[in-house]
A and B are shown apart, each in its own frame.
Chain A
Amino acid sequence: MNVVPERRRMSAVPETRKMSPVLTIASLTVREAVRRRLVAAFAVISVVLVGASGWAFYKLSHGGAFTSGETNLALPQAVVLFMFMFSFVVALSASAVGSLAVSGEIDSGVLQTVVARPVRRSEVMLGKWLGLAGLLGGYTAIVSGLQLAVVYWASGFVPPDPAAAAALVFAEGVVLLTLVLLLSTRLSALAAGVIGIALFGLAWLAGVGGTLATAFNIHALHTASEISQYLLPTDGLWQGAIYYLEPSSFVTQQLAGSPVGQGDPFLALAAPSWQFLAWAGIWLLLVLALGLVSFERREL
């Protein structure tokens, strides 16, 4: 008896609606995050953190330790701090999952079986990017929504434009994810992840330096900071998110209350310019395209 079945006529294998390889890989990436309990782990941690923040915000608003004026100043700052923590989680996650997505799978041998199929490597990488960006987007939307809902419940505070703030935190994560994916087409997963996080930290530090430079009129430092925002737009996007979390009355009070108020790294005086946002979009597309070409040309 034959082990291998007789060859079927090709007409017996009906070809129906076929999913694009990009979407196939994207859904596989999301499924992996769910199956490997990444999503569950993030859900548990986020619920705990948001729950704890609810308690903190309630105490801040109803504890009686502060005057209403002090509370009005403290609430936006606390919201920014919590969102800063979540943006850091988004960035760290983007770096970790992005570095493993290409380099890690090449090292483990998983990608070798996939790229030998009739799919372009660029489709494989675009699928991974799409899946991971979708996960980051879902996480940012849910955790920002939960956080701001809890803040509203505990204190009645609503930031000026929470959706814009969440979108910018998401954009920050996607920018870093795209960079790390590019790095992981050529470097080891560990190197790509570490470099991604280090560059993210440096960009943030350059942003802080720029804020101080503005406060103390240090032109060279200000210029260096602006250049760094264009080289890696993560901090510029984060500054944009801050702007949409803080009411203008709060900004005015902060500047009035301290001679160096504008040196506060958690204070944004202006909305991100459209030129900067357009550049961030172009930067993202360029780095993504570079990553696709790099992976296409990578020898396996």
Chain B
Amino acid sequence: MASPAIHAIELSKRYRAVVALAGLSMTVARGEVFGFLGPNGAGKTTAVKLLLGLARPTGGEAMVLGAPAGDLQTRRQIGYLPELFRFQSWLTAREVLFLHCKLMRLGRQSWAVQADEALHVVGLDGRGDDKVGTFSKGMQQRLGLGVALLGEPALVVLDEPTSALDPVGRHHVRVIIRELRDRGTTVFLNTHLLEEAEHVCDRVTIISKGRSLATGTLAELKVRRPSARLRVTGLPGGWWRRLASFGRWTEETGEGDWLLVEEMAAGRVPELVAAIVALGGRVEAVIPEQQSLEESFLKLLGEA
């Protein structure tokens, strides 16, 4: 049986008096998309650096793809997108990709194909010969993702991969992550965005103040999905059976005809509105309640 993609036991890191990571234990199976969720300063990036051998732990140990964290040969199978990074501004995007092909010791004949594919995957077709210095922050992040995907790595570590991207870019990254999972690549996604984790992660660990609070699927962690409040008139009788697939419905008593739908998958509000209209209902107002997810998360952090 293949070793887990990542196995950490009591991994700790202390910078003099500051405890950045206080005994992290977790196992990431091969082929899963694992979310590493936590607020800023929780110790997420420290954990990533320890797993990649960029920093040394002050306690505990970690195995990555069956080898001790930081093992040189194992790095050939790991793609890494750092949170804060910059490529050589005086190189073109293609030259950056070639440089990393070289550093990964890939055969020269494959560089052009690898680079073209990477540029295509991250939506930088036609920009390969432009200097990186002319790229926006978002484009640099896309290129960083392309670099992380070179050589078909078995494990891709993404540290806040969408921090500089617009909504279209974020969606694109999620599509890429799902496709990586489909082809069996393990993805370790470091993020403070719950929505991002919810969209793509099979399991997550929630980390705060250097400690893991909980690990499991979002459902297991009782993190509620986003809901929406709607003011609707003119719905025919038995409407809730026809709209049950959207989530759990509650009629709110009080002023107006407000309905609350909970546990609804993200991004389904337009579809829901269309379905209501198709039933003959009139949608007077829609208030998406994205906060519920964050509230659950904050509650979990607050209990720590």
Contact = CB atoms under 8 A, between A and B. Distances in A.
Interface string B79-106: 0101011111011000000011011111
Interface in B158-177: 172, 175-176
A249 interface: no
B109 interface: yes
Contacts of A21: 103
B88 A32 contact: yes
Contacts of B184: 7
Interface string A17-39: 11101001000100010011000
Nearest to A110: B86
Contacts of B180: 4
B16 interface: no
Interface in B224-282: none
Contacts of A8: 152
A6 B182 CA distance: 10
Contacts of A117: 75, 100, 103-104
B116 to A, nearest CB: 10
Interface stretch (B28-36, B51-59, B195-203, B205-213): B51-59
B214 interface: no
B90 A116 contact: no
B61 to A, nearest CB: 17
Contact of B107 (A16, A36, A116, A299): A16
A7 B88 CA distance: 28
Nearest to B172: A3
Contacts of A36: 90
B79 to A, nearest CB: 9
B167 to A, nearest CB: 17
A300 B88 CA distance: 18
B121 interface: yes
Interface string A94-128: 00000000000000111011111111100000000
B22 interface: no
B56 A116 contact: no
A116 B110 contact: no
A65 interface: no
A299 B103 contact: no
A24 B99 contact: yes
B127 interface: no
A11 B145 CA distance: 24
Given A7-B152, A15-B105, A114-B103, A299 B86 contact: no
A5 interface: yes
A4 to B, nearest CB: 4
A258 interface: no
A4 B80 CA distance: 16
A119 B54 CA distance: 12
Given A16-B107, A300-B54, A28 B90 contact: no
Nearest to B123: A3
Which of B76, B90, B91 has most A Cβ within 10 Å? B90
A295 to B, nearest CB: 12
Given A8-B152, A32-B88, A3 B103 contact: no
A12 B107 CA distance: 10
Interface residues of B, number: 47
Given A5-B121, A114-B103, A119-B103, A109 B85 contact: yes
A215 B84 CA distance: 58
Contacts of B149: 4
A112 B110 contact: no
B52 to A, nearest CB: 6
A13 interface: yes
A259 interface: no
A2 interface: yes
A110 B85 contact: yes
B72 interface: yes
A6 B183 contact: yes
Given A116-B52, A300-B55, A14 B117 contact: no
A56 B92 CA distance: 44
A14 B84 contact: no
B84 A109 contact: yes
Given A110-B88, A300-B55, A2 B179 contact: yes
A118 B72 contact: yes
B144 interface: yes
Contacts of B75: 116-118
Interface in B132-170: 144, 147, 149, 151-152
Given A24-B99, A117-B100, A32 B105 contact: no
Contact of B90 (A7, A32, A115): A32
Contacts of A19: 102
A115 B109 contact: no
19 contacts: A2-B179, A2-B182, A4-B176, A5-B117, A13-B151, A18-B105, A19-B102, A32-B90, A109-B82, A110-B88, A114-B103, A117-B104, A118-B72, A118-B76, A119-B72, A120-B72, A299-B49, A299-B54, A300-B49
Interface of A: 2-8, 12-19, 21, 24, 28, 32, 35-36, 108-110, 112-120, 299-300
For the complex of A and B, 8 pairs with smallest distance between CB atoms: A117-B103, A109-B85, A14-B107, A4-B179, A118-B75, A35-B90, A299-B55, A15-B107
Given A28-B99, A118-B103, 18 more contacts: A2-B179, A3-B120, A3-B175, A5-B121, A6-B183, A8-B152, A16-B109, A24-B99, A24-B103, A35-B91, A110-B85, A112-B82, A112-B85, A113-B80, A113-B85, A113-B147, A117-B104, A300-B54
